[in-house]
Structure 1
């Protein structure tokens, strides 16, 4: 991964300079929420003192983050910045990759396309891509819906790597009967491009990125489509999700879709929605295993938290009950134990965040 990571750090300055069961319903009303201006780096702040948090816990948290290879860390409270910190040569204009945390961008844009009547996630994928987009028999391929892609239960063999060409998309089980973490979700980008008669990038930029003042771009490398942006752009996305899909007075994606996306989407992995990870469930599954684990995904985190989790510990945590959006970007926190999504770092980090906010 390092080979392609550092090849794209040179784009940082360019990109940085451009101008419980229904967690969303727990959000405060819109008039209490703050949104930073679209075409400005201005962003209002909220002090730890005003919040009544434990100020003495901040520096130990920051020291821990720096020691864990963090590049950036932000906490928003009701939209306002409480702390914004950069480490290890990173800055507020540097860009970094979202890895699989960016799956939630695809989920959200899928909701936008459905809101506009371009797609219906309950329809089969072949309605939009035509038949033969996999190597399955026609009857098995036609079982796979867009919702299966968003829920990671397409039934496609997850042991063959990230290549999503038809030759590599092989039948493992009937759609809906097996949960497995697989890059085949990216086919939703092709679905949206076909349904909108636009490129994925054009639709994404127009319908989401530009409407909330994000910067950044998708980079296609090694059969992966990876989003790169500044930390504040990631925070803008997290804030829009926290605000029930709104940005100020504009509804970017419907609240009803987000309610579906941030609740259990299938009956196998309780801790997974539409490409969002869900805390507070009684069990969960993880990538690259068919084992079921008992208990909450991140025990130290609030039960109503939902998260975008990416390789090497890219994080967006959204916590409606605490009015928080938390961002972490960087290299893998524990190099001896890299993971694709959840890691032991999540629970350790939340233990230290709790010391600050409680």
Structure 2
């Protein structure tokens, strides 16, 4: 009798152990599947013909919901009109302030330089131009007031990298009389409005207006809305926040949109890599973080350290007057947009706002 009881107890224990092991294996398998689904989640692209957009919750990402209000309060006090975070293409945060809405257009200011950089690259990949050629190849000589020998030193790449050598102290006017010699092209980095001549280069090389080519080759292909509006000596792009985010999403994917390569991969890699040895934090009209030094507009002073110390090193960004921002962080699959009025004082690109804003963002996402 005792032997039978002992056998029954042993059998029961084996069943319990077996069930427990099976449950743990199942839990481990589910955990593994969840980890896999998280790490292999496909990049999302919103439809090009619709404003529908998938979302993702902060809790699903394991971010800190309790830090969100501090971020929003800071954005509100700093004259923001809109703020958006995409993670892996999906909207995690989308906030509007002071009567601004999802359908209200706002200007990109110099953040739109990256649009010009991208479309120049598209024109090159289609065989219309070569960025290593001199600018006068496409728009003729006499586009500056420099001696011809000096003007002929200026290539399209010099305009992309802000190394034209033209005098940046004379304002935004890009008529020939205002484009004067300061140094040989390639020997001096200076933030200058002369980059807009690339739009003339593209128009001349393609035989289309700048807007026609831009709309057909970039805007319409990724579902952006918006248009170029003349403002003084500049043609400035205006769009909704979501349109700016679409462009940022294409940039996150190295110039690709939902499997279609909009801009040549190698060109885009060059555009978001140090382009010359003077300002290490500058590519082809893109700003780059994580470098050992940087220059800012309207100064020849070299600042040591990273462009935005609190931001990830792999961040590259489009920065526009009065704090228009497109931040792209490949390592975290993030695109972050900020539109609005100047956070503090009027500025051409970077301000202290960037560093503090990233401290607030880090509190949410890390």
Match of 1:4? none
Structure 1 residue 249 displacement after superposition: 2.0
Match of 1:340 among 342, 348, 362: 348
Match of 1:127, SS? Answer: helix
Higher relative contact order (CA 8 A, sep 6+): 1
Deviations 1:317-339 (A, max 9, x none): 000011100000000001xx321
Aligned counterparts, 1:244-263, within 5 A: 244-263=254-273
Structure 1 residue 32 displacement after superposition: 1.6
Structure 1 residue 30 displacement after superposition: 9.8
1-side partners of 2:242 and 2:356: how far apart? 24
Q: Does residue 109 of structure 2 align to residue 99 of structure 1?
A: yes
Match of 1:268, SS? Answer: coil
Match of 1:296 among 302, 306, 309: 306
2-side partners of 1:78 and 1:66: how far apart? 26
Aligned counterparts, 1:1-358, within 5 A: 32-334=42-344, 337-358=345-366
**TM-score (ref. length: structure 2):** 0.89
Structure 1 or 2, whichever has the larger Rg, is 2
Deviations 1:158-182 (A, max 9, x none): 0100000111100000000000000
1-side partners of 2:60 and 2:186: how far apart? 48
Structure 1 residue 57 displacement after superposition: 0.6
1-side partners of 2:39 and 2:237: how far apart? 31
**TM-score (ref. length: structure 1):** 0.91
Structure 1 residue 31 displacement after superposition: 7.1
Kept after mapping to 2: 8 A contact 1:30/1:243: no
1-side partners of 2:174 and 2:71: how far apart? 40
Instruction: Give the CA RMSD over aligned residues.
Output: 1.2
Structure 1 residue 29 displacement after superposition: 10
Q: Any unmatched runs of 5+ in structure 1? A: 1-27
Structure 1 residue 37 displacement after superposition: 0.5
2-side partners of 1:331 and 1:52: how far apart? 31
Deviations 1:231-259 (A, max 9, x none): 00000000011011111121100111110
1-side partners of 2:40 and 2:125: how far apart? 21
- In structure 2, the CA distance between the partners of 1:120 and 1:64, relative to structure 1 (3 Å rule), is same
Q: Any unmatched runs of 5+ in structure 2? A: 1-37
Structure 1 residue 105 displacement after superposition: 0.2
| Aligned pairs, number | 329
